[in-house]
Structure 1
Amino acid sequence: MDSHALLTVGILSAIGFSSCQNELPLNGPLNGAVGGSVEFTLNNPPSAPPQGITWRFRETPIFTSIGETELPNVVYDGRTSVNKFTASLELRGLTQNDTGLYTVEINISGVVSQGKTSLTVFEKISNVTAEANQNELVEFNSSVILTCSASGSSPSFRWLNRSAVVTGSENKTLTVLNVTRYDTGPFQCEASNAINAQMSSDVNLTIA
C-alpha cells in the first residue's frame, strides 16, 4: 500500500469514519469538451462543512481532506479544486482519458454518505465538409450522392436543403434519386455531438 493510502487510512481511523453509507445524489451524467472543465456538485449540498471529503475516479483517489489535512493526488496537480464547504469538485484540462465513473464520500459527524456520477469527454466537432459526387445533373434522369465528413467525437449528421431539414437524413451520406429542380440546393450538412454542432459550407447543384 502506498504512503498516500496508508496516511488516508490512518486519518480515517483516527476520526472514526462510520461504515454506514447514505446515498448522495450528484449532478450528471456530465459531458465535457477536451481542454475544458466540469464541476461535479451535490444536488443537496451539506448544511454544515463535512469533516471529511474523498473524491475518486474509478478506484483512484483524486482528493481527500480530513479536517484541515488535505491529500491531493499529484497526478491531478493544477487540474482540480474542491470546495470544502459544499464538497464540489472542479476538474480542468479535460482529456478523453477522464471519461468514466466518479465517486465522492463525505463524513458529517461520523455519518458517511456516498454519491456517484459519470463524465464523458468529447472532442468538439470541427472541419465539417460536404461534397457531391457530381454537380451537373439532368432533371428526372440523374441521381446524386452527397457525403459529409467531420472531425470530433461521435458525430451525428443531418442534411438541410434550402435551410429545411431533409426527412430521414440522419446519415453522413444523402442520396437524392431522380432529381428535380427543387434539388438545386443549397444543401448543407450539420454535424453535432453532446458538446457542439457545426454546419458545412453550401453545396449547390446544377439541374438542366
Structure 2
Amino acid sequence: MDFLEHKGFLSRDAVEIQPSTNPAVVGSTVTLSLSPSVTLTGGNWALEDTFILTWLGEQQAVFPGYSGRASVNVTSGALTLSALSVTDSGLYQVHSADPLLKASVSLTVVEPISNVTLRVNRSDLIEHQASGLINCSVSTGSSLSFRWRNGSSEVTAADRVQFTDGNSSLNIVSVSRYDSGPFRCEVFNPISNGTSDSVNFTVSYGPDNMRLTVNGLNTAAFSAGSNLSMLCLAESNPPAQLQWGFRGNLVNATGTMLELFHVRADQSGPYSCLAFNNCTNLYSYITTYITISRSERLQGNVFLLPLLLLAGFFLSLLGR
C-alpha cells in the first residue's frame, strides 16, 4: 500500500495494523504489526483507554497489568502480547511522534468451548397443560452462539417456541406429544464448537384417535357361529386402560382385544371400548354396532349407551 509521508507525517489511513491472528485463542500469543512496514523512533500502544507500553529509541516501559507479557519491536513498532485472555479483546491503538501516525485495529480473544450440557426444568409433562424449559451451558467458552435441534431438524422460533438468554434457553409453551425430543444444543464460536448429549421430555397425552376393528374388516355384519376378534386401539401415553362394554353394560374383558366364539344372533348390538389415561385423567370411547345373521336390530338410543358404560367404567376403577 502506498502511503503519504511529508515532514515526518504519515496520513492516518496510510498505515494499518495487521494482527498475526484474529480472532486469537485464550492463552496464545499475537503480534500486531504495521503495514506497510515503517521505521519508528518511538511511540505507545494502548487497549481502548489503557496504556500497554511506551518506547523511545531502544528504551521501552511496560505498564502494570502487562508486565512480562507485552513487548515492542523498537524499530518497526510491532506489539507482541502473550498469555492472552478474553479481557484482551478490544480496540488496539498505536501512536507515534516520529513519524507522526495513528492507527487502530479491533482484536477478539476467544476461549474454546468445552463440556456443553443441558438442564431441563422437569421431564414429565402433560400435553397442553405444561411448558418445557431447557437450558444450555458450557464449562468454558466465550463469544458463544447457540443452535437447537429436535432430532435431525433445527428448532426455530414460533408461536409456542421461545428462545431467551441469547438463545441459550429453549422454552416450549403448552407442549404437544410431538415435542418429546430428542433435543440437542449446538454451541459454536469463531474457533471451536461443541454439542450436548440429547434430552427427552416425557409427554403424557390422550387417549384419543380411537379405532375399533372386527376381524380386521370394515364390515360389521357376520353370520351366526362366527368367531369375532375385536381390536381396540387408542393413542395414549402412558398406554390407556381399556374396558369393554355391551349394550350399555361393562363386560368382564379388558385390554386391546375382545374375542367372541361361535356368536349367536342375540349377541348383535352395540359394542363399546372405553379408554382411560390415569396420568392425564382423560377418557375416550368408541362404539360399533355388530349385526349377527338377520337378528332384529336392537331398539333404543345407542348414543346413550357410552354414557352408561362410562359411569360403570369409573365405578370399576374406583373399586380396584
TM-score grouping bracket, smaller chain normalisation: 0.5 to 0.7
Match of 1:38 in 2: 30
Match of 2:182 in 1: 186
Query: Take 2:180 and 2:42, find their aligned partners in 1: how far apart are those partners?
Result: 61
Query: Of Structure 1 and Structure 2, which has the larger fraction of its residues in strand?
Result: 2
Pair 1:175 & 2:176 matched: no
Please tell me the root mean square deviation across aligned C-alpha atoms, in Å: 3.5
CA displacement 1:34-79 (0-9 Å, x = unmatched): 423333233x322xx504243411352514252xx13141643431
Q: How does 1:93-108 map to 2 (within 5 A)?
A: 93-106=83-96
TM-score, scaled relative to structure 2: 0.46
- Are the structure 2 counterparts of residues 71 and 143 from structure 1 closer, same or farther at C-alpha, using a change threshold of 3 Å? closer
Query: Take 1:191 and 1:118, find their aligned partners in 2: how far apart are those partners?
Result: 24
- Are the structure 2 counterparts of residues 161 and 37 from structure 1 closer, same or farther at C-alpha, using a change threshold of 3 Å? farther
Task: For 1:149, give the aligned amino acid.
Answer: S
Contact 1:34/1:124 (8 A) holds in 2: yes
- Are the structure 2 counterparts of residues 193 and 134 from structure 1 closer, same or farther at C-alpha, using a change threshold of 3 Å? same
Match of 1:26 in 2: 17
Match of 1:131 in 2: 119
Query: Take 1:78 and 1:60, find their aligned partners in 2: how far apart are those partners?
Result: 15
Seq. identity, %:
34
- Are the structure 2 counterparts of residues 187 and 85 from structure 1 closer, same or farther at C-alpha, using a change threshold of 3 Å? farther
Pair 1:144 & 2:132 matched: yes
Q: Which has the larger radius of gyration?
A: 2
Q: Give unpaired runs (5+ residues) of structure 1.
A: 1-17
Of the two structures, which has the highest relative contact order with CA contacts closer than 8 Å and spacing of 6 or more? 1
Q: Give unpaired runs (5+ residues) of structure 2.
A: 1-6, 158-162, 204-236, 238-320
Contact 1:50/1:106 (8 A) holds in 2: no
Contact 2:52/2:70 (8 A) holds in 1: no
TM-score, scaled relative to structure 1: 0.66
